[in-house]
Amino acid sequence: MIFFVVILSLLAWFLLINNRNQSSSNQEMTQLEHMGDECVGISEKAVIGMTPVVEFQKLELLSRKANVLKNCMADRGFREDPAWRKYAEPLARVSASQQHISFDEAIETMRKSDMLLFKKQVQRPLYWISAKN
Q: For the segment 40-75, what is each residue's pLDDT rounded down to a tens digit?
A: 999 999 999 888 889 999 989 999 999 999 999 999
The span from the CA of 72 to the CA of 97, in Å, is 33
Q: For the segment 17-37, what is each residue's pLDDT rounded down to a tens digit?
A: 555 444 444 456 789 999 999
User: What sign does the CA torsion over 7, 10, 16, 19 have?
Assistant: negative
Write the CB contacts of 44 (distance below 8 Å, at least 6 apart in sequence): 65
Whether residue 7 is predicted with pLDDT greater than 70 in this model: the reply is: no
Ordered by start, the domain boundaries in the chain are 30-130
81 within 8 A of 126, measured Cβ to Cβ: yes
72 within 8 A of 39, measured Cβ to Cβ: yes
pTM: 0.72
The span from the CA of 117 to the CA of 55, in Å, is 25
